[in-house]
A and B are shown apart, each in its own frame.
Chain A
Amino acid sequence: MDPAQVLKGMLDTAVLGALRGHRTYGYDLVRHLREQGFAEIADASVYGTLRRLHKAELLTSEIVESETGPPRKYYTLNDAGVAELARSTKTWEEITATMDRILSQEDTS
């Protein structure tokens, strides 16, 4: 199983989860996700996902001047994003619970 493919399917949830209670910009989010263990993550996927979630009005953005370069767009989770994260988390928990049951079945053959 390719971890990168699995990660693609859950990237929305990972991004929403990483933004819960935090205000951050694209590259900072990439670094954070990598530090959390998603070493296989594609940087472009994170940037694209951020844009899509923002267009879907799950995120709020704010342009902030930077001391080290051009202004940055910082993202935060809005109410719609929090609700979507709750739904995604529930779905994820159901999937992992199901997978746990299947994978923990003893070999009776």
Chain B
Amino acid sequence: MSKPHMSAAGAQYLKRVDGLLADIDDDDRASLLADLADQLGELSESELSERLGTPEAFANEYRRSAGLEIPPPPPPRSQSAAIAMTLSALTLPLGLLVLVSFGGQLVFGPFVLAIEWILARISPRPLRITWSLLAGFLAAEIAYLLVATHVVEGAPAVVAGVLAAGLTLLLFERTTRRDADTRSSNDSTAPNTADPAHRR
């Protein structure tokens, strides 16, 4: 049994369409992907974008023709980053409150962080809300740890805690931006979005 040859770009295209239509019936999606795989096996990289458009345009046209709802586009990346930072900032005092409420049971922190880490890993893009919550709680952990373990005392302890929290949030913000930049770079190399009805 031989399979049609598919370029790396074709395989990437197929994977992207699969992800974009993840909400439709498995049966229908599998059928579409089988047809599309055949087609991608016959197209060169340059023909692929000309004939099919971007995966997003393809998926949207499929939805439109199938009478399915077209999901709204994701918010602008700068907006996503701002929302992520706001969530982190809001989680910080909440995290401190939780830690104080548990009477300094620091052992509680790692469990929360572990759960948040798992949630962050499985949460969908583009807005990984749980990453924001994770950063906020991590900042709270650091601040609380510095104060509770008496590494520093009194007012300097509060200042050190706030600085540590700020540093954590800053690191998170830089990571978020780098991730957004990487995705922008990837998108700019993708074919231009165009109405697939105008394909040759």
Q: How many residue pairs bridge A and B at CB < 8 Å?
A: 106
Cβ contact of B35, chosen from A4, A45, A47, cutoff 8 A: A47
Chain B residues contacting A52 (CB-CB under 8 Å) are 65-67
Asked if A68 contacts B2 (CB within 8 A), the reply is yes
Asked if B200 contacts A39 (CB within 8 A), the reply is yes
A42 at the interface (CB under 8 A from B): yes
Asked if A70 contacts B30 (CB within 8 A), the reply is yes
Q: When chains A and B are docked, how far (Å) is the Cα of A24 from the Cα of B181? A: 44
Asked if A47 contacts B65 (CB within 8 A), the reply is yes
Asked if B52 contacts A70 (CB within 8 A), the reply is no
| A44 in contact with B65 given A26-B32, A39-B200 (CB within 8 Å) | yes
A100 at the interface (CB under 8 A from B): no
Q: When chains A and B are docked, how far (Å) is the Cα of A72 from the Cα of B199? A: 25
A58 at the interface (CB under 8 A from B): no
Cβ contact of B197, chosen from A8, A27, A49, A72, cutoff 8 A: A8
Return the 3 tightest CB-CB contacts between A and B, nearest first.
Answer: A48-B65, A26-B35, A48-B66
Contacts A46-B65, A52-B67, A66-B34 given; 7 further ones with Cβ under 8 A?
A25-B35, A30-B39, A45-B65, A68-B4, A69-B37, A70-B30, A72-B31
